Amino acid sequence: MKESYEKYTTAYIMNHFNVSRQTLYNWIKQGLISEPSRDWRGWRIWTEESIYEIQDVILNKKSKDYKNNNFLEVNELYINNRRYLGSKYKLLPFIKNVVKDQCGHVKTFSDVFAGTGVVGHAFNKVDTKVIVNDILYSNYLSYITWFSDEKYDSVKINKLINELNHISCSKENYVSRNFGNKYFTMDNAKKIGAIRQEIELISPSLSFREKAILITSLIYAIDKAANTCGHYDAFRKKMDTIQPLKLQIPIINDKLNKNNEIYREDANKLVRTISSDLVYIDTPYNSRQYSDSYHLLENIAQWNKPEVCGVAKKMIDRSHIKSSYCTMRAPQAFDDLINNIEAKYILVSYSNMTNKGNGRSNAKISDEEIIASLEKRGEVIIFDKDFQCFTAGKTYIKDHKERLFLCICKKGKKF
């Protein structure tokens, strides 16, 4: 497939990111961003992929300044500012161009396994309705933050975030007892517990969205302070993440959020009740349950303070957030999902991990099974892109590719 990215001038990039021409050239020389192509005049032409690379460089620089105690004030928080297994943030240009070239403008975009929500966010426009769904409550609260148009008091939120950052946290609490000196420094664990308890205490004075915004800010702060490689299946033996926990202010554009729909349901049940121009499918690929990888965030989000067990301190009962797509039932679940979607287009992300990695990393659905299910609904086109995914450790997977299976649905059962 020929990729036809949106093109930007150097002047636009400089103005958009408030960086100098020399800084951009230095980053190219250092290998931090890719050298852009040039037009017939020899002028550099930047793409959306360039924009994502520059955003990452800026965010990483701010993070390093903070860790090195050069306390650069970074108060803004964006939807992509967290680590997450299977995140498609760096694949957004690829996904957007497939949709643009093959589907044109879509008026309704559904992401029913939305994870962090970055894919839905990339399609969230004034003239596009976005439907997002995930079974995890922590992600659901994040969607309320980023995608809802329920009114909230931004001045109050900013004031509360500042107060929570300066909260007194000397006493032991649920988080420090269970997760201190494991996933977090003891000071950060005490602060997390104190902040979450305070949010609960003041919740009668908050709207549901205001409470969701505060918890989302805390969840993102936890990710930056966690002594992990980006998930909570385990923590590092050496405590090497010691920067103080700091909540930031989510940057929200409610002008884009009109008519969006937000769900926390089983995706197979949800698709029976919604309709879209395009449904994007990004199921879990392997046996690693997200309920295990993000149990701690679920615990903090729900704040029921359940008993935890094992070295990883997981909630004992996680059955309600287990996914069939991480089991041998995945092909049957996928076939049922596809058969009951009401859409003009179905776009499926899936990696080529069927026979790669260790047993837990192997994909649960084969290409043949994906194609067979999709072909029942219409014509199937496959696109692929080299991609080194975010894994549960420092694993390098040779020849890893991310594929997009596009189904152009025939008019039939529901359309």
SS3 sequence of the chain: CCCCCCEECHHHHHHHHCCCHHHHHHHHHCCCCCCCEECCCCCEEEEHHHHHHHHHHHHHHHHHHHHCCCCCCCCEECCCCCCCCCCCHHHHHHHHHHHHHHHCCCCEEEECCCCCCHHHHHCCECCEEEEEECCCHHHHHHHHHHHCCCCCCHHHHHHHHHHHHCCCCCCCCHHHHHHECCCECHHHHHHHHHHHHHHHHHHHHCCHHHHHHHHHHHHHHHHHHCCCCCCCCCCCCCCCCCCCCCCCEECCCHHHCCCCEEECCCHHHHCCCCCEEEEEECCCCCCCCHHHHCHHHHHHHHCCCCCEECCCCEECCCHHHCCHHHCCCHHHHHHHHHHCCCEEEEEEEEECCCCCCCHHHCCCCCHHHHHHHHHCCEEEEEEEEECCCCCCCCCCCCCCEEEEEEEEECCCCCC
Percent of the chain at pLDDT exceeding 70: 88
State how far the Cα of 308 lies from the Cα of 285, in Å rounded to an integer: 27
Q: Which two tokens stand for residue 161?
A: 């975030």
Task: Return the CATH number of 7-74, one of 1.10.1660, 2.60.40, 1.25.10, 1.10.287.
Answer: 1.10.1660
Predicted local confidence at residue 411, as pLDDT: 76
Confidence of residue 61 (pLDDT cuts 50, 70, 90): low
Query: What residues pair up with 351 in beta bridges, in sequence order?
Result: 402
Confidence of residue 288 (pLDDT cuts 50, 70, 90): confident
Least confident range from 142-156, 318-332, 395-409: namely: 395-409
State how far the Cα of 171 lies from the Cα of 144, in Å rounded to an integer: 31
Least confident range from 12-16, 127-131, 167-171, 269-273: namely: 12-16
Predicted local confidence at residue 70, as pLDDT: 46
Give the position of tokens 């400089």.
14
> Where is mean pLDDT largest: 72-81, 86-95, 359-368?
86-95
Is residue 265 exposed (0-12), middle (13-18) or buried (19+ Cβ within 10 Å)?
middle
Predicted local confidence at residue 358, as pLDDT: 47
Is residue 179 exposed (0-12), middle (13-18) or buried (19+ Cβ within 10 Å)?
buried
Residues 230-237 have a mean pLDDT of 90
What is the residue extent of each domain of the chain? 7-74, 89-148+254-409, 154-250
Confidence of residue 1 (pLDDT cuts 50, 70, 90): very low
Average per-residue pLDDT for the chain: 88
Predicted local confidence at residue 130, as pLDDT: 98
State how far the Cα of 236 lies from the Cα of 203, in Å rounded to an integer: 34
Tens digit of pLDDT for each residue in 393-409? 555 455 667 899 999 99
Tens digit of pLDDT for each residue in 164-199? 999 988 899 999 999 999 999 999 999 999 999 999
Q: What is the pTM of this model?
A: 0.82
Confidence of residue 230 (pLDDT cuts 50, 70, 90): confident
CA-wise closest residue to 252 among 166, 142, 400: 142
> Do 107 and 124 contact (CB within 8 A), yes or no?
no
pLDDT at 5 over 60: no
State how far the Cα of 259 lies from the Cα of 31, in Å rounded to an integer: 42
Q: Which two tokens stand for residue 169?
A: 């946290």
Predicted local confidence at residue 30, as pLDDT: 76
CATH superfamily membership of 89-148+254-409:
Vaccinia Virus protein VP39 (3.40.50.150)
CA-wise closest residue to 321 among 350, 338, 305, 299: 299
Predicted local confidence at residue 352, as pLDDT: 66
> Do 143 and 265 contact (CB within 8 A), yes or no?
no
Q: Which two tokens stand for residue 274?
A: 């919604």
Predicted local confidence at residue 15, as pLDDT: 83
Predicted local confidence at residue 289, as pLDDT: 82
Least confident range from 273-277, 312-316, 338-342: namely: 312-316
Phi, psi for residue 211 in degrees, rounded to 5:
-65, -40
- Residue 409: partners with Cβ closer than 8 Å, 6 or more residues away: 341, 343, 344, 345, 346, 377, 378, 415
CA-wise closest residue to 284 among 227, 329, 225: 329
pLDDT top residue among 65 and 336: 336
Predicted local confidence at residue 3, as pLDDT: 45
Least confident range from 124-138, 261-275, 352-366: namely: 352-366
CA angle 402/335/324 to nearest 5° reads 80
pLDDT at 373 over 90: yes
Tens digit of pLDDT for each residue in 82-137? 999 889 998 998 999 999 999 999 999 999 999 999 999 999 998 999 999 999 99
> Where is mean pLDDT largest: 19-23, 229-233, 377-381?
377-381
Predicted local confidence at residue 356, as pLDDT: 43
Residues 55-76 have a mean pLDDT of 60
State how far the Cα of 57 lies from the Cα of 95, in Å rounded to an integer: 22
Residues 315-333 have a mean pLDDT of 90
